[in-house]
Amino acid sequence: MPSIPSEGPATDRLDLSVVAPLYNESQNVDPLVEWILEALVGYPGSFEVILVDDGSRDDTWGRVAAASARDPRVQGLGLGRNVGQTAAMMAGFDHARGRVVVSLDGDLQNDPRDIPALLAKLDEGYDLVCGWRQQRQDKFLLRKVPSWVANRIIRRLTGVQITDNGCSLKAYRRDLLDRISLYAEQHRFIPALSASVGARITEMPVRHHARRFGESKYGISRTAKVLVDLLTLKMITTFRSRPLLGFGTLAAPMVAGALLFAAMAAVAAARFVPSKAQALVFPGAALLCAGAAFYLLMLGLVAEVALNSERESANEIPTAWEVR
Ligand code: UDP
Ligand code: MG
């Protein structure tokens, strides 16, 4: 159960934090900082730019440190090793002091000039505003097609109607970030996870550019990882409160299989067909299916028991955050 967001001393708080993860993006650091600061020239409040160096092996940290020495609004956060984009973003969020946080890629593919529009949208009363990349400048087969498929599955499974879940350019209210936790490659599930804690979510078109410096850190293997994470997410958001339902759904085809094979074994036995295969295979398959069904149901029950004791210790009533 996430704790109620603790606001630090008033002086500790800023209006806005811009967070960008960087992994081997040395050439992108200077233009990125320049571009963000330029985009925020007209911003009326206080802000900081947090550059998270995700264990880069090139000169990224040197550039980040130099940028931070030049401008006190720029903060560098160096991670000891490469932890991946999602974890790097989370590290940045943890250090962000802004009441509002904006995340974007550090490779200049997102456009910081979209930030003011995102903030204006957030002010209309949303907790999360997601960027929706128009004319995405990435490879068609390796990026756009898998992304289109993944977005459709995410929408279908989670019921959250956000078109472009993979876009890093997003604006969040601080208290929303305090209520969701991410791991693995889950940053694309931020909309779905946010919806599951009751956040008000919207999306708006943003610009997208082709990479100018450095190269993409991902290949086609990411698609498989995203699909695995999606399964986890489905478990977390849907079956979290009723695990037996999830395991029961999985057990149902096993029960059907057990009945089918048992019937086939009975028919084979009744007809006295002297075939070894039928005498062994059908009862064996029936037993196997029955065993699997039993195992799944027991797992579901164990999960229910575990959850029940957790419920007793944590009050499941939503915190005041959800009272609008
Ligand atoms: N990134 C990171 N850690 C990683 C991989 C990527 O911090 O392990 C950063 C990367 O530097 C970039 C952003 O995440 O700022 C998006 O990565 P990339 O451009 O490679 O992804 P793509 O745009 O190709 O989906
Ligand atoms: Mg990129």
Q: Are residues 87 and 226 in the same domain?
A: yes
- Tell me which residue has tokens 């069904």: 293
Using alpha carbons, list the distances in angstroms from residue 279 to 78, 79, 178, 268, 291: 65, 62, 60, 7, 19
Determine whether the shortest distance from the Cβ of 105 to ligand 1 is under 6 A.
yes
Nearest atom within ligand 1 for CA of residue 166: 25
Question: Of ligand 1's atoms, which has the minimum distance to the CA of residue 222?
Answer: 25
The one-character DSSP state at 189 is: G
Element (H, E) at 100: strand 98-103
Q: At what angle do helices 26-39 and 60-70 cross, to 10 degrees?
A: 30
Note the pLDDT of residue 277.
66
Query: Is there a domain that residue 5 lies in?
Result: no
As for how many domains the chain has, the answer is 2
Shared domain for 234 and 111, answered yes or no, is: yes
Three-state secondary structure call for residue 111: coil
319 lies in some domain: no
pLDDT in the model for residue 218: 86
Q: Which residues surround ligand 2, an ion (CB under 5 A)?
A: 107, 109
Say yes or no: CB of residue 164 within 6 Å of ligand 1: no
Q: Return the CATH number at 138.
A: 3.90.550.10
Q: What is the pLDDT of residue 102?
A: 98
Same domain, 234 and 254: no
Same domain, 285 and 203: no
Domain extent, residue 190, equals: 14-239
DSSP 243-293: HHHHHHHHHHHHHHHHHHHHHHHHHHHHTT---HHHHHHHHHHHHHHHHHH
Q: Which ligand is nearest to the CA of 218?
A: 1
User: Can you tell me whether residue 185 is helix, strand or coil?
Assistant: coil
The pLDDT score that the predictor gives to residue 2 is 40
Question: Does 252 lie in the same domain as 231?
Answer: no
Q: Is residue 8 part of a domain?
A: no
Q: What is the pLDDT at residue 228?
A: 85
Considering the domain architecture, whether residues 198 and 255 belong to the same structural domain is answered as no
Strands, sheet with 74-78, edge to edge from the N-terminal-most edge strand: 74-78, 47-53, 14-22, 98-103, 170-173, 128-133, 201-206
Query: In angstroms, what is the span from residue 87 Cα to ligand 2's centroid?
Result: 16
287 shares its domain with 265: yes
Q: Is the same domain home to 175 and 207?
A: yes
Give yes or no: residues 150 and 183 share one domain. yes
Q: Are 74 and 33 a contacting pair, CB within 8 Å?
A: yes
Q: Tens-of-pLDDT digits for all 324 residues of the chain?
A: 344 444 444 457 899 999 999 999 999 999 999 999 999 999 999 999 999 999 999 999 999 999 999 999 999 999 999 999 999 999 999 999 999 999 999 999 999 999 999 999 999 999 999 999 998 888 888 888 888 988 998 888 888 899 999 999 999 999 999 988 876 678 888 998 898 888 999 999 999 999 999 999 888 788 888 888 888 777 776 777 788 988 999 999 999 999 999 999 888 888 866 666 677 888 999 999 999 999 999 999 998 888 887 777 655 554 545 444
- In the prediction, which pLDDT does 224 show? 83
Q: For ligand 1, is residue 107 a contact (CB within 6 Å)?
A: yes
**Is residue 3 assigned to a domain?**
no
Q: Give the nearest ligand 1 atom to 23 CA.
A: 11
